[in-house]
């Protein structure tokens, strides 16, 4: 079935794969909310950073029924390119793609329900781990911004092999260090970009520059034709903005990420922070590290008005009395 009728598409299906740029998640969640049915599973493929949290928050704000499960993957399952509108070429199906549900205790259940069609999906600790494994946050915005004049001069160049020079790679390493430090704050695993290249493409080198230059798969991948490209409009607001905000909530600074965001705003004249995912815009405003970790694990958040305090328990464990369960009874 090919359809743009949301009600028709969603009716009676068990698992919904959402494969759009993360900048469209908010609008899509709003459009889906009225037609979702209890027990359905939504998988953002991928979520970028804080995707599942934002999606769930927008569903809730728009009256979606309880009993839904939102999950996200750390990267897209296909290595592919659009050939022309409506036609894509899939070069490769990735062998292993991490997935986490929100809350994390539902991850196993989601995997069980999709493994017959998507056996590539394996469990991540929680959506902080998938969000902090967002390698696009490293490889997409910085090289685009640090080649802004080249891109806007309408010259086409090899994005990775020509655009990522020694200096640009040095900047990427700094962004990557900031991402790894944030992951440490939230106690999740994140693989350094250089090790990721070794794992995915088998390219080994002592520094990121050499590793990228040796990655044959990157040969011939062309630069964006303008700054109006998802490397900016998706990866700045949906990757760098939430990463920098997670850093801030953990009392860490992420100066290179913050600078790239500011420069992206200056170059495009768009306020990407306002358009982007912040803890506050995804409903986690004011939370500290421990509260955020609790939230992604068990899906509980502090109740905004103390007079509505409830107590709840999960798996025999009593959970902070100042919290509420969001998604209702566990999905079947």
Residues that bind a copy of itself in the complex, under the rule CB under 8 A: 143, 145-150, 152-153, 157, 162-168, 170-171, 174-175, 227, 255-256, 258-260, 262-263, 266-269
Q: For a copy of itself, which is the closer residue by CB, 69 or 147?
A: 147
Q: How far apart are CA 184 and CA 189, in angstroms?
A: 7
Q: For a copy of itself, which is the closer residue by CB, 255 or 288?
A: 255
Residue 112 structure tokens: 């069980």
Q: For a copy of itself, which is the closer residue by CB, 142 or 197?
A: 142
Q: For a copy of itself, which is the closer residue by CB, 4 or 153?
A: 153
CB 278 within 8 A of CB 245: yes
User: Which of the residues 25, 57, 98, 140 is marked catalytic?
Assistant: 140
Q: For a copy of itself, which is the closer residue by CB, 74 or 176?
A: 176
CB 159 within 8 A of CB 230: no
Q: Residue 138 forms beta bridges with which residues?
A: none
To a copy of itself, the closest distance from the beta carbon of 51 in angstroms equals: 26
To a copy of itself, the closest distance from the beta carbon of 75 in angstroms equals: 24
140 catalytic residue (yes or no): yes
To a copy of itself, the closest distance from the beta carbon of 150 in angstroms equals: 4
User: Which of the residues 57, 98, 235, 294 is marked catalytic?
Assistant: 235
207 catalytic residue (yes or no): no
To a copy of itself, the closest distance from the beta carbon of 280 in angstroms equals: 19
To a copy of itself, the closest distance from the beta carbon of 157 in angstroms equals: 7
Residue 199 CB coordination number (10 Å): 11
Q: How far apart are CA 320 and CA 121, in angstroms?
A: 32
Residues identified as active-site: 140, 235
């Amino acid at each position: 079935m090919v359809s743009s009728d949301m009600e028709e598409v969603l009716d009676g299906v068990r698992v919904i794969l959402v494969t759009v740029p993360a900048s469209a998640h908010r609008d899509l969640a709003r459009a889906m909310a009225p037609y979702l049915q209890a027990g359905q599973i939504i998988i953002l493929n991928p979520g970028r950073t804080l995707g599942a949290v934002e999606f769930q928050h927008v569903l809730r704000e728009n009256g979606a029924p309880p009993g839904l499960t939102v999950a996200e993957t750390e990267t897209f399952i296909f290595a592919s390119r659009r050939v022309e509108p409506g036609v894509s070429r899939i070069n490769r199906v990735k062998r292993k793609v991490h997935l986490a549900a929100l809350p994390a205790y539902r991850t196993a259940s989601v995997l069980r329900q999709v493994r017959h069609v998507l056996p590539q999906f394996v469990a991540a600790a929680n959506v902080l781990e998938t969000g902090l494994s967002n390698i696009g946050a490293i490889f997409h915005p910085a090289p685009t911004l640090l080649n802004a004049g080249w891109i806007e001069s309408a010259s086409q160049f090899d994005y990775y092999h020509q655009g990522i020079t020694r200096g640009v790679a040095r900047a990427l390493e700094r962004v990557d260090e900031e991402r790894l430090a944030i992951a440490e704050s939230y106690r999740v695993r994140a693989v350094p970009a250089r090790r990721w290249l070794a794992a995915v493409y088998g390219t080994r080198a002592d520094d990121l520059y050499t590793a990228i230059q040796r990655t044959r798969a990157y040969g011939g991948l062309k630069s964006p034709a303008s700054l109006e490209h998802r490397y900016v409009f998706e990866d700045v607001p949906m990757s760098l903005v939430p990463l920098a905000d997670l850093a801030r909530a953990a009392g860490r600074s992420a100066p290179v990420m913050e600078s790239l965001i500011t420069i992206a705003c200056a170059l495009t004249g768009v306020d990407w922070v306002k358009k982007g995912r912040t803890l506050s815009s995804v409903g986690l405003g004011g939370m500290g590290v421990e509260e955020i970790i609790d939230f992604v694990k068990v899906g509980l958040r502090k109740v905004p008005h103390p007079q509505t305090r409830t107590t709840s328990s999960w798996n025999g464990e009593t959970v902070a009395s100042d919290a509420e369960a969001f998604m209702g009874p566990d999905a079947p």
